[in-house]
Amino acid sequence: MKLVTLLVLPFAAALASTAPFKGCQQKVKESIHGPPHRWYKHAPAPKHHMLELKIALPQPKFPELEQHLWEISDPSHARYGAYLSKQETEALMAPHPETLDIVNEWLALHGLAEEDVIHSSARDWVTIRVPVGLAEEMLDTTYHVYKHAETGESIVRTTSYSLPDILHHHIDLIQPTTMFARFKAFKSTMHWTNQAQPAVSIPPGATITGPAGNPVDASCNSTITLSCLRQLYNAENYKTTATNCNKLGLTGYLDQYVNNKDLQQFYQAQNPSAYGSDYTLVSINGGKNNQSYAAAGSEANLDTQFGFGLAWPTPGTFYTTGGEPHFIPDLMTPNNTNEPYSYWLDHVLSQDDIPQTISTSYGDDEQTVPYTYAIRVCAGMASLGARGVSLLFSSGDHGVGDGRANPASQRCKTNDGRNITTFLPMFPASCPYVTTVGGTVNIPETAASFSSGGFSNYFARPAYQEAAVSAYLAMLAPGTFEGLYNSTGRAFPDVAAQSESFSIIYQGQESLIAGTSCSSPTFAAFVSMLNDARINAQKTPLGFLNPFLYSIGYTALNDITDGNNPGCGTLGFNATVGWDPVTGYGTPNFEKLKDLVLAMP
C-alpha cells in the first residue's frame, strides 16, 4: 500500500472536504487506566515505525442480523437452517453511506488517497498503513513500545486516543491502540512434555465402562488417542464422507505451524487410512507454514492431528494467520505489533465458501481486550453463525483466574486502576455467538481443574441460556464468591471434552499435551461428523450451536458432575448436575446427538 504524505486537491474540493471538521474539538475516543499486569512502558515508539490501523465503522443494521441469527439457529423456529448468504449478511453489516463519506474525508485531510485505503468486504472495516508519527497526529496521542515482563515480547500501543468529535458517531474503534491481548494458545504448560510418559501397566484387553455404557480401552485413562475419543464419545462405527462438501476448519496464529511430517507420522500411528492425505492451507496476512522441525508448533500439530484425524476423510482447512509487522525488530522496536484475529475474521467473512465447522484454541483475559473491540469481533462471529458456520473456542486454562486456589494471584486483579481481586473471564470464549468448550479428565470423566469458566463482564447473558444458568446460580449458597463475578453475564463454557494426556507427534517424537486446546478441536470434529450426517440426509448444517444445545441438545451430552476450577484464592466453581461454569452441559454422546440432529428439520 502506498503512503501519501501530501494530497493535492482542487481548491474548491479541498475547502468542501475540510468543512465538516472546521471547529471540531478532539475528544478522547477510548482510554485505559494503564497497561495490563506484566506489561511495562519500555521506550517511545520510533516515528518511522509503520502501523497497520484497522478502523471499525458502525453497523446500524446489526440488530436485524442478530434477530435472523436467533431464528435460524433455533430448532423450534420455522426458519431453522434458513441461513443468510454472504451478500445478505454484508448488507446487514454495512455502515451508513454518510459514515463512509465523512471517514474518507478525514483520511484525505491526513494525506491518504483512495488507493491507500482498504475496505473489508462489507465495508465496515477500513485499513490504512501509516507511520507512528502520522498516527499520533491523527489520533492526538503518543505511542510507546511496551514489553511483557515474562515473555520479553514487545508491542507498540497507547493508553488513550482521540478523534474529532464529529467522528465519534462514525467510528466505533481504531486498533492497534489500547489493546494488549496476546491471543495466546490455550494449552496448559503444566502438563506439557516433549516425550511420552512411561507406559502404565495395563492387562491386555482390559476395559473400563464409558459414559454411553460401552467398553473403553483401559489405556485411555493414561493416554488419549483418536481411538479413545471415538470409543469414549460413542462414535466408533460412524464413517464420514469426503465428497458431500462438508469441511472442518482449524485456525493457527503466532507462528504456529503444522509440521506435515509429524502429521503423516501421527496418521500412520493412529489413523492409517488417513496416511498420505492432505489438507488445504490458507495463508492470511502473510501467514506462513514453515516445515522445519524446529518451527513445528505444538498447538498447530495438536489441532490438526486430532481435528483432522477424527473427522477424516472430511476435507480439512488450516488457516495460518500472520501478525508480524513488515520490519526487522531491534532493541527499540517491537516484534509483534499487529494482533492477528481480526485479520482472520475479515478474510473468512469475505469468502463465498467457508467450512461449516471451525475451531480456535486461542484467546486471552477478557479485560485485556478493549470493550469496543470485543463487541465488534463478536458481531463478526454472529455474521458467520448467520451463514451457517459453527464456531467453537477453547474456554482457557486458568480456572476462574490463575488456576490456583491459594494464594490469590496478582493475575486476578482488575486493570482499571482499582486493582481489586476478581475472576477473569476469557475472550473470545465469552462471546455469546460462539460455542465454548471446557475440559475434562479421566474415565469416568471429571472436570479438569484448569478448565476456565465463569461469567463475562462485557456480554449480557443471552436468552438461550437463561434457564440453565439461573438454575445453577440458584444452587450456590448465598454470598458465594460475592463481588468476584458478574452473575448476569454470558456464562461459559457451553460444553466440554477431554483435555489431558493427548498423544501427539511433535518434532518426530510422541509427546503428551494438555489443555482446553485439546477440547475444542475434539468437540469440533464431532460437530463436523454431525454435519456430515445431516448433509448426507439433505439437511442444512447445524450452524450456531447454542440454541440447539440449550434447548434439546444437552439431552445427548454426558453430564459431568464432579470437579471444580480453582483460582484467585478460591476453589472456583463446581461441576454439578446440569449446566455448570466448568464443563457446561458436558461431553458428546455422538450416536444420541446424531439421532437428535437427524430428527430435526
Residue 196 pLDDT greater than 50, yes or no: no
Handedness of CA 40, 46, 49, 54 (dihedral sign): positive
Catalytic residues: 299, 303, 517
The verdict on 494 and 530 lying in the same domain is yes
* pLDDT bucket at 184, cuts 50 / 70 / 90: confident
Residue bearing the bigger pLDDT, 183 or 111: 111
Q: Is 548 inside any structural domain?
A: yes
| C-alpha–C-alpha distance, residues 601 and 591, integer Å | 18
Q: What are 211-222's pLDDT values in tens digits?
A: 999 999 999 999
Residue bearing the bigger pLDDT, 552 or 37: 552
| C-alpha–C-alpha distance, residues 251 and 292, integer Å | 20
Question: What's the structural domain count of the chain?
Answer: 2
Residue 546 pLDDT greater than 60, yes or no: yes
- What is the per-residue pLDDT for 18? 58
Q: Is 410 inside any structural domain?
A: yes
Q: To the nearest 5 percent, what fractions of the chain are helix, strand and coil? A: 30, 20, 45
Residue bearing the bigger pLDDT, 336 or 312: 312
Element (H, E) at 548: helix 546-551
Residue 386 pLDDT greater than 60, yes or no: yes
- What is the per-residue pLDDT for 366? 93
Q: Which domain CATH number covers 267?
A: 3.40.50.200
The verdict on 281 and 171 lying in the same domain is no
The verdict on 210 and 168 lying in the same domain is no
Average pLDDT over the chain, rounded to an integer: 91
118: three-class secondary structure by DSSP: strand
Q: Which of 529, 526, 512 is nearest to 558 (CA)?
A: 526
- What is the per-residue pLDDT for 243? 95
Q: Is 66 inside any structural domain?
A: no
Residue 31 pLDDT greater than 80, yes or no: yes
577, 558 Cβ separation under 8 angstroms: no
Domain that holds residue 42: 11-59+94-180
Element (H, E) at 216: strand 215-217
- What is the per-residue pLDDT for 330? 47
Sheet holding 426-427, edge to edge: 184-185, 362-365, 426-427
DSSP state of 195: S
List the beta bridge partners of residue 207: 217
Residue 421 pLDDT greater than 60, yes or no: yes
Q: Is 110 inside any structural domain?
A: yes
State the average pLDDT over residues 85-109.
Answer: 97
Q: What are 244-279's pLDDT values in tens digits?
A: 999 999 999 878 899 999 999 999 999 999 999 999
Instruction: Please give the backbone phi and psi of residue 484, each rounded to the nearest 5 degrees, phi first.
Output: -95, -15
Q: What are 297-332's pLDDT values in tens digits?
A: 999 999 999 999 999 999 999 999 986 543 334 444
Residue 96 pLDDT greater than 70, yes or no: yes
Looking at 122, 146, 180, which one is the last position of a domain? Answer: 180
Which segments within 285-337 are labelled E, that is strand?
316-321
The verdict on 306 and 357 lying in the same domain is yes
The verdict on 175 and 39 lying in the same domain is yes
| C-alpha–C-alpha distance, residues 220 and 236, integer Å | 14
The verdict on 267 and 335 lying in the same domain is yes
Q: Is 150 inside any structural domain?
A: yes
Residue 145 pLDDT greater than 70, yes or no: yes
- What is the per-residue pLDDT for 62? 98
Q: What is the share, in percent, of the chain residues with pLDDT greater than 90?
A: 79
| C-alpha–C-alpha distance, residues 411 and 199, integer Å | 36
Cβ neighbour number for residue 137 with a 10 Å cutoff: 12
The verdict on 145 and 230 lying in the same domain is no
* pLDDT bucket at 335, cuts 50 / 70 / 90: low
User: For every residue of 258-304, which 3-state class applies, written as one string?
Assistant: CCHHHHHHHHHHHCHHHCCCCCEEEEECCCCCCCCHHHECHHHHHHH
Q: Is 73 inside any structural domain?
A: no
Q: Is 80 inside any structural domain?
A: no
Instruction: Output the known binding site for Ca(2+).
Output: 559-560, 578, 580
Q: Is 407 inside any structural domain?
A: yes
543, 389 Cβ separation under 8 angstroms: yes
The verdict on 239 and 298 lying in the same domain is yes
Q: How many Å from the N-terminal Cα to the C-terminal Cα in the chain?
A: 48
50, 326 Cβ separation under 8 angstroms: yes
One DSSP character per residue, 348-366 reads: HHT-S---SEEEE-EEEEG
The verdict on 406 and 448 lying in the same domain is yes
Residue 12 pLDDT greater than 60, yes or no: no
* pLDDT bucket at 407, cuts 50 / 70 / 90: low
- What is the per-residue pLDDT for 182? 76
- What is the per-residue pLDDT for 19? 63
Looking at 180, 214, 240, which one is the last position of a domain? Answer: 180
- What is the per-residue pLDDT for 440? 98
State the average pLDDT over residues 429-456.
Answer: 97
Q: What is the share, in percent, of the chain residues with pLDDT greater than 70?
A: 91
Q: What are 51-94's pLDDT values in tens digits?
A: 999 999 999 999 999 999 999 999 999 999 999 999 999 999 99
Q: What are 149-160's pLDDT values in tens digits?
A: 888 888 899 999
The verdict on 244 and 159 lying in the same domain is no
- What is the per-residue pLDDT for 126? 97
Residue bearing the bigger pLDDT, 475 or 404: 475
The verdict on 209 and 143 lying in the same domain is no
The verdict on 144 and 287 lying in the same domain is no
Q: Which of 168, 159, 176 is nearest to 26 (CA)?
A: 168
* pLDDT bucket at 418, cuts 50 / 70 / 90: confident
